[in-house]
Structure 1
Amino acid sequence: MAAVSFQSVSKTYPPSRAQRAHGNPGLRALEDVSFDIEEGEFFGLLGPNGAGKTTLISILAGLSRPTSGHVSVHGFDVQTHFADARRQLGIVPQELVFDPFFNVRETLRLQSGYFGIARNDDWIDELLASLGLADKADANMRQLSGGMKRRVLVAQALVHKPQVIVLDEPTAGVDVELRQTLWQFVARLNREGSTVLLTTHYLEEAEALCNRIAMLKRGRVVALDRTSELLKSAASNVLRFKTDAELPWELARHARITGRIVQLPAQNALEVEQLLSNLRQAGVPVEDVEMRKADLEDVFIDLMAGEQTPLEVAR
């Protein structure tokens, strides 16, 4: 049995009165999304802003109803067996949501109570220590920094020992220390059998952590495969260099440009030679030239820039 199953999930938000008057049918956020996440997987859900990731997670959490399709967690439908499905889930949201009237330990005890768990202090102590919150246990939530509040959100999601952990942009805007602490702890839980679903814009995290990845574009699945297979589908090499000059259009439209750093796909040595020749002819001075293997960001950019027809890659 799959840990999480999305079956033909679609979601359309109804139009406003003004939109209806102009014949607008509404916003289709998800269109026939189907995939399973197996028990014990570390699964990545990637896509640009507005691709439908958070909508899909909201449906999984029971906070939003799909227009059509079904979602289940360990066999429990999230709509018809909400309580059973919700007990299996621990969800870390994007937003920093907290109660300003409690300290950290009280917050976690209260969260335990929502799931009917009493005398949970041993596990709470372990969570506090593992997430670097032990010295903040008696601090009021209002006194914590943004990074510390996010650590508490992670602890809240894990306080009832869920079988499925959902991390929705958990490291957005946080420091390196928290990222390392979080990933070490979550990787440990995954090794111990927990299923993890991660959404992130830090693609290097997804590449390092996720066994399998689904990519969404405009509410549709455009890639679904093991991370290693997705990497094989990318250009085998990337030419990387620095320049202060503007690239000619024919090169710029294929380039990934970050400030002075330019990266261009190159399948082989002949293409590298041709690219460098084109740069010289265009009068573009380059420095710090190097080659690297393609990464998940290269795959992501190629898919998001490609056709909208879903690419069904072998599971």
Structure 2
Amino acid sequence: MKKSYYLFNPGRMSRKDNTLYFTPVDEHGNEGQVRPIPVESVDNLYCFGSLDANSALFNFMGKNHISVHFFDYYEHYTGSFMSKDYLLAGKMQVEQTKHYISDKKRMVIAQTLINGAAFNMSRNLKYYQSRGKDVTSSLERIENYVSLIERAKKVDELMGIEGNIRQAYYDAFDTIINDFEMGNRSKKPPKNEVNALISFGNMMCYTMCLDQIYHTQLNPTISFLHEPGVRRYSLALDISEIFKPLLVDRTIFSVLNKKQIQANDFRQDTNRCVLKDSAKKVFVQAFDERLKETFKHRTLGRNVSYKHLVKLECYKLSKHILGIETYKPFKMMW
């Protein structure tokens, strides 16, 4: 089974036959132990350090449909290498564009996305409420905002409602998380530990959703809730709204409350809070394990992983766009 590889150290990537070789290099130019990576085991690479590779290697990875995602010093996603769009289809491109251009069709999808995201946020809060955390106020506020979704006439209105729902949701984090305070949501830059984890986790979720979209016929630049923009894959932002509560937030709650990540795993750097490399590795490992978890899918009647669930969400959206089946977002029931 193919899997993701996370490269935290700077280094050099080379290839011999059907094996990739990663050689880590420290800040003094000293090489570490070479790590072989069989090509048939690679789904994608996440590079958090600088990667030295030549065009021949990228041609080889492109032919094997291996994606490479890059991040800067502050954990920001900066871009991806992906092979030729081998699954894009003209009919899907045309229909997806029509659904974006039509205000009515776009609103249907945008409202559905927000309803799904709000349901999953509420489900998270109910999970912790059943474990003695008093988040009643946030739940009531989310319920009130959800009632406004169907009345919205413009996508801008929906984005405002979504922002209010998420603020009510984030207000419960200080109750759920032990030993840390989130305060207000701060993104650019994150001001404290919880905000730093949210930004890092959301970025991981966005990148993973982009990777799954790539393996479908959907065009990642044409979105419905978030406005398509220059140099961004806005459909990945749409899809990630559904899954951030399940994949990102529950991972954050787990690593903090289990003390797998503690206060000394962060540092203040030029007016921002930054995860140390050791904490990044802990979070990425927990996030990756979450993606590999399986559950019995109610419709399919078989076990699927959370990562595959994201691809199934893309398939459902594709069927809606093609007029085959009305899109219903994933809603977690646990």
Q: Tell me which interval the TM-score lies in, with the shorter structure as reference length.
A: under 0.3
Higher helix share: 2
For the pair shown, the structure with the greater C-alpha radius of gyration is 1
TM-score by length of 2: 0.25
Higher strand share: 1
TM-score by length of 1: 0.27
